[in-house]
Structures are given as C-alpha cells and as structure tokens.
Structure 1
Amino acid sequence: MAKKVTKEKAGSKRPIPKTAKYQTIFKPVIYLLVLIVAILYAPFMKSLNFRSRQYTDYLAESFDGPYAENDILSKATKLFTDEVEGPESLAPFEGKVYVGLQDGRILQISDDKYTTFTTVGISNGTCPAWQEKRCGRPLGNRVTSKGDLYTIDAYHGVLKTSIKAPSPKPELVMSSDLLIEGNSSKFLDDLVIDEGAGTSGGNVIYMTDASSHFDLSEVVPTMLDQDDTGRVIQYDEVAKKATVIMKGLLFPNGIELTDDKTSILVCEITNKRILRHYVKGPKAGTTEVLIDRLPGEPDNIRRSTRKDKETYWVALAIARTTQNPDLIDWGENKPFLRNFALRTIYAVGNLVQFFGQLIQSPDLTLKGWEIKTFKLFNLFTFRGMALEIDVSGKIVSCLHSPDGSITLLSEVREVIEGNSRVLYLGSVYNKYIGKLVLS
C-alpha cells in the first residue's frame, strides 16, 4: 500500500532544532575563546606578570597647592616641527645644544637652527624607525667640561664623542652586552657623569637600566606590567668596572647628580616618584624617597641654571591626578584587562607590520610598528607639565599646558641665552623641540 505524502505549504519554514540554535551560538563563542587564548599565550608574546593596585595610592590628589593650574607651558614655541622626531634628551655646551633623534642622528642646535653633528650605530640619518634596534637609538645626553658628549644608545651602550674633534664620531665606552651581576643591559636609558671621580682621575658614569626584561620598543609593557627589574649602574670608565648600586626598581629613567656629588636623584616612572640614593659619605648605599605621588610619570631630571638655589627640572609625560585619571590608571586594579588589551594591540601591530614588510610597503610597516610600540600616543591630547623641585623635594614651580599643545615631555633642559633663562623641551614622541623663555 503506498504511503501518503503530504506537501508543506508554500512559504512555510521548518522549526530550527534546539541543537542547531546552540551550535549557532556555540561556534562564535569557541572562536572568541580561541582568539583570546591565542592572544594571551601566543609564543611571540613575552611573559608578563600583571599585578593589581589602586592608582589612588601613587598619583597626586589634585592640581591644587604646589600643582596649581596655569598655562605657562603652552606659551612655548615649537622649533623644527616635522623636521625632527623623538628629540628625547638635550645637552648644552658653549652656547650650543646637542640632541639625539629617532633616526639615529645627533643634532647641534644654535640660534634656532640645526646641523647634523654625528650619528650613532650604523645609522646615517635615514634609519627606518622599525629598525632602531639594528641602527641604534640615542637617548640620554651629557657633555663634560672638556667637551666630550656622552650618549646612551638604548640598544648598544654608552658612547662618547669629542665635540671639538674635526670629524666627530662616537666611540663605544661600555657595551650593553657587558654582563653585570649576570645580566646584560636590556634598556639603557639615561646617564650622568661624575668627572674625575674614578680610577686615575677618570670619570664615573651613573646610568639607568630601565628593565632586564623589556627594551625601548616595549616602554608601555614595562609600565603596565609593573616590571621591577630596573637598576642603576655605576661604571668606572678607566678601570672598566661596572657595579649595580640600585635594583628592584620599577622603570628607573632620569638620573642626576646632586651639587655636593654625594647622591644621585633617580626618577622611577611606574611608581611616580623620585628617589635619592647616596653614593658617598656616611649614608653611602642607602636610598630614600625624595618626592612621591607626582601628578604623572617623571622622565628625565636635570639641574637648573640657578645659582641662588639648588633646583632641578623634571619632565612629566602625562600629567593627571586621582580626580582626573586616564584609562591606564583605571585599569591598574584590572590586571587581566591590561594584559589582554596590551597583547591585542601588540598582535594587531605585529600583523600590520608583517604585511607591510610582505608587500614592501614602508608606510604600512611603519604604521604596524607604531601600533605595537604605542607610538600613536601623540595622536591623543594629554596635559603637559614640567616641575622645578629643590634638593629636598619641595616643589618650586609647576608649569602646565592644560590644552596639551606641549605634552609627552621627556626632558626639560634649562640654559642661559643672553640674560634669559630658557627651557628646551624634549620628547621621545614629539616631532618638534619646545622652547620657552622664562620671565
């Protein structure tokens, strides 16, 4: 007997089985979890050890009192806009100022004009940013009374160039590969010279090694990971002896010698504070907090030109307080989110850079490198700030740029031009050098 066949009505839909509904939701969830795991544990990512803390424990409470708001810093002029990139540190000598750039050049500035003084590493001034590890990247600069320019190359070591030489060319004083207490220097950042304090009247160099885990291209991970492998190295140039005199620091950066040469002042970026470490005298080997809870990350620190008082200029990268924190501060007590966000940005940047190199596109390669190294910071507007403090840690003056026209500062270097005190403003991110005449 033939079976009865019934036809479905035209346009009718079959009900979706429950299993199919679950599969529709299940698959995207699985893909998302796989993506998250890949980002968090991809082999090309470094191991990170995110910890949780409250930003209210280390930032200034408000822009009141010694941090009272003004717009003095915004009045600075911008020199060489789009002609220089990353003028991180400036060193004056005999009426001229020397500054290192992203592309490996060291410029000589005079009368608001510049010439190329020399270059570091294998760079000839045309080094692509994404090859800075190979080419070299000048950071901290100092000039001795004899006219020797000492420069920290973040990847290769300490360099010395005679300014008075007919053809100035850097020579290597200390290599980053030198093992010091079992570790080479991963991220040399800044230095200061104690002239004549070493063997046979040679120089002693104090320098910050920001991290034993990350390098310069990983500045943001160094901060977000709260990496505490930073150290300060003392190097006797004649004896060629290096000693670790401070360790366990969270991103030590700027360093300066006090007038009596008994101690060094060290800016600890992640902890938003400045430390004083004694290198001579009865307190030698001890460390104390000079000032903490700063309204931003203290980068380089430099002696002012004042004769009446021992003061120092401190550059703050992004000025803010607990009343107006930024996104990074909001994530301080959310280590998982910081971890995921950091790795996601790095993965995207790495992918863009890979395709840029694959299709031989310098622009795309640069964009990928800028993404993964967070160089795109300069696309955002942050309050700029420079502090002048005395040797006891008291705030002497505070300069603001509330509109962010001057921001992301790495160094404030004071010089005397004519009868005026003049501040030159450096930055590892900006494409100009700021100049402010103090009234």
Structure 2
Amino acid sequence: MQEVIRLGEGLLDKPEDIAIDKDGILYTATRDGWIRRLHKNGTWESWWHVESEGLLGLTVTQAGDVIVCDAENGLLKVNEDGVEVLVSHFNGSKFRLADDVIESSDGTLYFSDASTKFSLNEWHLDVLEARPHGRLLKYNPRSKETSVVLDKLAFANGVALSADQDFLVVCETWKFRCLKYWLKGDTKGETEVFIDNLPGTPDNINLAPDGSFWIAMLQLSHPRLKFVHGARIVKRIVATLTVSRLWIFGAHKKAMVVNVASNGKQIKRSFDDPTGQVMAFVTSVLEFEGHLYLGSLQTNFIGKLPLNST
C-alpha cells in the first residue's frame, strides 16, 4: 500500500466507509458526526452534521439519497433536504449497533445489526463473549416495515449484493467468514458459507465492477483470541482493561484488503500494510475507475490506491 494517496487529510475523523454515486461524487461519514462529500473537481463539502459518534456504513440509492447506518439511531436517509431517520427500533427495542447497508433494485434496504447486546463503544466485548448477537435485517421503504432475514450471526458486519442480485453476502467478523443468502432461484431463502478461513476478520464488503468482491480485513490475532477464550477468568480481566481492544486485536498496527471471486472459491488479489506505516485498521474498500478507496478507523484521511500498484 505504499502508493496510497491521502484524500481529505486532516478534515476527516476516522472515515469508516465510502460510497460513490453515479456522478462520481464520493461520500463518507465520520466519527465527529459529519457526512462529507468529495466532488469531482477535488473540493470537499461538509454536507450535513448529525449528533452522533457512531456513523458507520453508507450507500447511495438509485434515487440519489445517501443511506447511513447510525449505530444507535438506525438507518438515516440523507439528501439535499436534510437528514431523516427511517427506522430506529425493531420489535420495541432501539438498535445498538446498526452497521452496514445496501439497496436492492426493488428499493429494499438490507442492513446489518452487528450486536443486539453490545453498543459501538463496547464492540470488543462481543468477541470476548463469543456468542452470536448479530443479525441481518431488511427495511421496506414503501411499507416502512422491518423484518429479520438472518439472526444469530457472529458480529454481522459488511453487506453486499451480487452483480445479478441473486444473492447477498454478509460478513461474520468473529468467525473469519462471509455467508451467502440466496434471494432468487430454487435456493431462494437458503443460506450457505460464501468464504471462510479468511486471513483476517472481514469488516465491510463491496461489489467490484467485474462481479467479484472487495473485503476489508481487520488483522486480528488467532493465538491471542484462542488464549483469551481458553479461560473465563482471563476474559473477565481483559474485558476490564482500557487497552483490551488493542491487546486482543492487532488491528491498529496492520491493514489488509482482499479481492474474492464472485463464487467465493478463491482470493484473487490482496494488498496489505503489515506494519501500518501507511494505513492501519482499514475498515472498507471500494473499487472505482481503476483505484481502490480505503476507509479506516485509524486515520484522518481516505486512502486512494492505484489498482496497478504492486
């Protein structure tokens, strides 16, 4: 990742995710509550501000609206008219960690709720407990109804649709894998493993122009996780430490993104920064016009990496 160009350096506070509309305008949401966009002429605009420290995944709809996951306030719709909360509760309970979202061709919004037990500031406790509190939901903008697609997921994270929208992929971060949920055909409604035994824990996932998928990998340490899960008392001690999330996860020191084939059978290509000198804690990767755009929770910029980089 040595050839990374830094976009918006100093302006952006931990840009988790990136979306680009049909006109080539780039959008990101940051930890200080700003939804900012980069115009094609290279100028940044501080578009809308939300009173939140938990803006995560986002996507641009066919209508041109930006849908943003606010960890505790649910799905937000953002456009020139302002910010509107689409859904903030499900079955009477407020969301704790709405994470990523994608729109299908019929307007349905599929989104992940990483944990029904732990909030954004407690996300590291989810891996310590090692129980599946995540779920995948869908929101119908016409009926304004929300329903569960999959539950008991191990920290449901990134969500993406296949090129033909015959299936959906959702990342299970703590299981080092992604699941495939069929939306069409004879297998409609069935779930299977899309890819497992990944070289890191998958965060956000995006469809590439050729039908493959780009996945951002948090570089967690298997030996450390096994050690922590090996003894209940160790879990309790680590959970009380402020630095626990850094001790368990080496994510703040490394970065990796991988390109997975459309059938999930192989990793076609990867880029990494094993020392984190250029970028670390990369949480999203989006391919656009021959470049990869990289979001991170460890930077004050978005990375732009030429795909011909070696």
Residue 145 and residue 286 in structure 1: after superposition, are their counterparts in 2 closer, same or farther (change >3 A)? Answer: same
What's 2:98 paired with?
Answer: 188
Partner of 2:268: 396
Question: What residue in structure 2 maps to residue 315 of structure 1?
Answer: 216
Letter in 2 for 1:102: R
- Residue correspondence of structure 1 range 38-437 to structure 2 within 5 A: 73-93=1-21, 94-110=23-39, 111-120=41-50, 123=51, 135-162=52-79, 165=80, 168-175=81-88, 177-179=89-91, 183-195=93-105, 197=106, 203-306=107-210, 310-318=211-219, 325=223, 327-345=224-242, 374=245, 382-393=253-264, 394-405=266-277, 406-416=279-289, 421-437=290-306
Alignment: residue pair count: 304
Q: Alpha-carbon deviation of 1:331?
A: 2.2
**Cα deviation code 1:167-216 (max 9, x no counterpart):** x41111112x232xx65422110011013x2xxxxx21111011110111
> Could you tell me how far 1:108 is from its partner in structure 2?
0.6
Amino acid at match of 1:77: I
Kindly indicate which of the two structures has a greater share of residues assigned to strand. Answer: 2
- Report SS of the residue matched to 2:82: coil
d(CA) in 1 for partners of 2:276, 2:226: 19
Task: Quote the offset at 1:257 in angstroms.
Answer: 0.9
Q: CA deviation at 1:92?
A: 0.3
Highest Rg: 1 or 2? 1
SS in 2 for 1:170: strand
Q: CA RMSD in A?
A: 2.3
CA distance in 2, matches of 1:337, 1:246: 31
Match for 1:340: what amino acid? I
Contact persistence 1:119–1:169 (CA under 8 A): no
- 8 Å contact from structure 1 (residues 375, 429) kept in 2: no
> 1: CA distance between counterparts of 2:299 and 2:233?
31
Deviation at 1:90, TM superposition (A): 0.5
The structure-2 alpha-carbon separation of the partners of 1:377 and 1:277, relative to structure 1 and needing over 3 Å to count, comes to same
Give the 3 Å change call, closer, same or farther, for CA 295–250 of structure 1 in structure 2.
same
Sort the Cα spacing of 1:83 and 1:412 in 2 relative to 1 into closer, same or farther, 3 A: same
Cα displacement (A) at 1:252: 0.7
Change (3 A) 1:329 1:425: farther
- Residues 75, 436 of structure 1: 8 Å contact kept: yes
1:339 shift after superposition? 1.9
User: Whole-Å Cα distance in 2 between the matches of residues 305 and 118 of structure 1?
Assistant: 29
Gaps of 5+ in 1: 1-72, 124-134, 198-202, 346-370
Q: Which amino acid counterpart does residue 33 of structure 2 have in structure 1? A: G
Q: Name the structure where helix makes up a greater proportion of residues.
A: 1
Cα distance change on mapping 1:380 and 1:278 into 2, 3 Å: closer
Q: Does structure 2 retain, via aligned residues, the 8 Å contact 1:378–1:430? A: no
For 1:428 and 1:139, the matched residues in 2 are separated by 10
Q: Any gaps of 5 or more consecutive residues in structure 2?
A: none
Q: Structure 2: how far apart are the matches of 1:114 and 1:403?
A: 30
Change (3 A) 1:381 1:205: closer
Shift of 1:311: 0.7
Give the TM-score taking structure 1 as reference length.
0.65
In structure 2, C-alpha distance between the alignment counterparts of 1:157 and 1:305, rounded to whole Å: 29
Give the counterpart letter for 2:216 in structure 1: A
Are residues 257 and 381 of structure 1, via their aligned partners in 2, closer, same or farther at CA, if it must alter by over 3 Å? closer
Shift of the alpha carbon at 1:276? 0.3
Partners of 1:317 and 1:78 in 2: CA distance: 20
CA contact (8 A) 2:176 2:201 kept: yes
Cα shift at 1:260:
1.8
Secondary structure at 1:264 match in 2: strand
Distance change in 2, residues 1:316/1:379 (3 Å) = closer
Query: Is 2:72–2:94's contact at 8 Å kept on the other side of the alignment?
Result: no
Q: What's the CA shift string for 1:224-283, capped at 9, x where partnerless?
A: 211312111011111111111101111010000112212110000000101001123221
In 2, the alpha carbon distance for the partners of 1:377 and 1:116 equals 35
SS at match of 2:253: coil
For normalisation by structure 2, the TM-score amounts to 0.90
Supply the distance in 1 between the matched residues of 2:113 and 2:98 (Cα, whole angstroms).
4
Q: Secondary structure at the match of 1:146?
A: coil
Measured against aligned partners, the alpha-carbon deviations of 1:3-29 in whole angstroms (never above 9, x if no partner) come to xxxxxxxxxxxxxxxxxxxxxxxxxxx
Counterpart of 1:141 in structure 2: which amino acid? L
CA contact (8 A) 1:423 1:435 kept: yes
Go from structure 1 to structure 2 and tell me whether the alpha carbon gap of 1:250 and 1:333 turns closer, same or farther (over 3 Å shift): same
How many Å apart are 1:113 and its aligned residue? 3.7
Give the percent of matched residue pairs that are identical in Structure 1 and Structure 2: 28
Q: CA deviation at 1:415?
A: 1.1
